[in-house]
Amino acid sequence: MAGRRVLTGGIAQESHSFNPIITRRERFTIIQDQGAVEANRGANSTFGGVIDSAKEADVYLIVPTLFRAQSGGPVDDTVFAEVSDIMVEAAKRGDFDAVVLPLHGGMLTETLADPEGVLIARLREIVGNDVPITAAFDLHAHVKESTLEPLDFLSSYLTNPHEDQSSTAKRAFRAAMGILDGTFDPVLAATFLPMLTLGNDTTLSGPLAEIHAYAQNAVKQDRVWDVSIFNSQQFLDVPSMGQTVLAYGNGEVDEARKVANEIIRMIWDYRDDLINKYPALENELENIEKSVRSIIIGDQGDRVAAGGPGDSTYILNYLLENKIDVETYFPIYDPEAVATCERAGAGQEISLKFGGKYSTVSPSISTRGKIISIGKHVPVVYDGPSDGGTRTHIEKFAVLRIGKINVLLTNQPYAYIDPDYFRAVGLDPDKAKLIVTRSGYHFQLNFAKIGRVVTVDTPGMSSYYVDQFPWKHARPFYPVDKIDYMPRQYTRYRA
């Protein structure tokens, strides 16, 4: 295996069809070449998994570029074109044995419903059928035939909250090496169902825990080589959106087809159990002044981690109206407010209006407070375990203190799934009684050591009341529509 070379990189972002804020180039962390490899070695990310697998196998990585952004509105077409062209030019040089891509799978652009499939198809056109192309996707990816056609193998996260990003990429890397060694002949049986999971989406317990256990048992019993289950992100207005199960056989398809069909049937049979409502905000905050432990809240209605805009004032307005004045860290996206604070300077008391521009379920805040700090380009390194070791930064920020409430204003939306976002701006998570994040699941893993974690049922663009959206392409799907059980089938043999 020594002496092999693998092409990796690409673009990763999760999109929300109904978020009007286009994700432009400045939202992305951009890395390339060997510096990217060294900076991400050991990280619990898909890119980190590719890096660690390559080191173990003594494989050299070629990284033309990797663009990564937090979730948001669809990606600017020109950004996707830039990345695609860089990857294609690298592929044309042909100095590699395989392609392993650490992507997301839930991205949209302004004009493309399956940009990952477009990128992979362009690479396939260059490298031909002899060079293996494999990829690792998020569990919430939107996967359809156009995604799978140019791929030899695709792996998904097996956990939600996500804690197996690295191991997911290692499966994709292992598949590529197996194809090169002649020990793995991937035959795919895929099945699709137009249905959403809404609220009971964790793999730690409940239906998805049972379904994933069944799938992994099929792998352990050698019925199949690998299984991936994709619970599509709930805010993608694209044709054929829904659940996808991939079962790979090694040279044969019959048993893989049985496994894929068994799993998709389990998902359908549990369809109503996969719908759940989160706790009410008022119940979770009822006795917060007397609580010994701090509480870390996921704002379900405005989750940047699910593509929300990150400027909802719903929870903050509740705190102010009910005079809940405990040490609080509350993040909000408002570039104009950040600019106002920059002009005024740290230490100044100012009157400020912020939030509620895109998340209109709650009005903007108009208040007076003291600017505690301002800054830009501050580094963030995730504690983990979700994405542990991942390096990013906060572009610009200002902290405005209103009583005991510290409002973290930023010029870009962030999900705050890790405590280091707050440390980066000088807010010690251990000293807060209440911390609000723009995440629904993944923050729970990373904040568990800080205090009690809970996702609350708030209104907004990323709530699970999906009948609120003006769907144009995705319907019909369950539970918004009554549909019959008619899964779609797809089979792929390696050419």
238 and 286 fall within a common domain? no
Give yes or no for residue 367 having a pLDDT over 90.
Answer: yes
Can you give the pLDDT at residue 495? 79
Mean pLDDT of 192-213: 97
Q: Over pLDDT 90: what percentage of the chain? A: 98
Report the number of distinct structural domains present in the chain.
2
99 and 205 fall within a common domain? yes
Give yes or no for residue 2 having a pLDDT over 80.
Answer: no
193 and 340 fall within a common domain? no
Give yes or no for residue 116 having a pLDDT over 90.
Answer: yes
Domain range holding 378? 281-463
139 and 286 fall within a common domain? no
Give yes or no for residue 63 having a pLDDT over 80.
Answer: yes
Q: Is residue 482 part of a domain?
A: no
As a whole number, the mean pLDDT across the chain is 97
Mean pLDDT of 256-266: 98
69: pLDDT confidence band, cut at 50, 70 and 90? very high
Closest CA to 436 of 257, 312, 270: 312
What is the identity of the amino acid at 386?
A: S
Q: What does the pLDDT look like over 376-399, one tens digit per residue?
A: 999 999 999 999 999 999 999 999
Domain boundary among 274, 308, 329: 274
154: pLDDT confidence band, cut at 50, 70 and 90? very high
171: pLDDT confidence band, cut at 50, 70 and 90? very high
Q: Is the dihedral of CA 13, 18, 23, 29 positive or negative?
A: negative
16 and 32 fall within a common domain? yes
Q: Is residue 470 part of a domain?
A: no
From the CB of residue 39, how many other CB atoms can be counted at a distance below 10 Å? 15
Distance CA 440, CA 48 (A): 24
Helices in 29-139 by DSSP H: which ranges? 33-40, 46-57, 77-93, 115-127
201 and 342 fall within a common domain? no
Mean pLDDT of 358-379: 97
Can you give the pLDDT at residue 1? 54
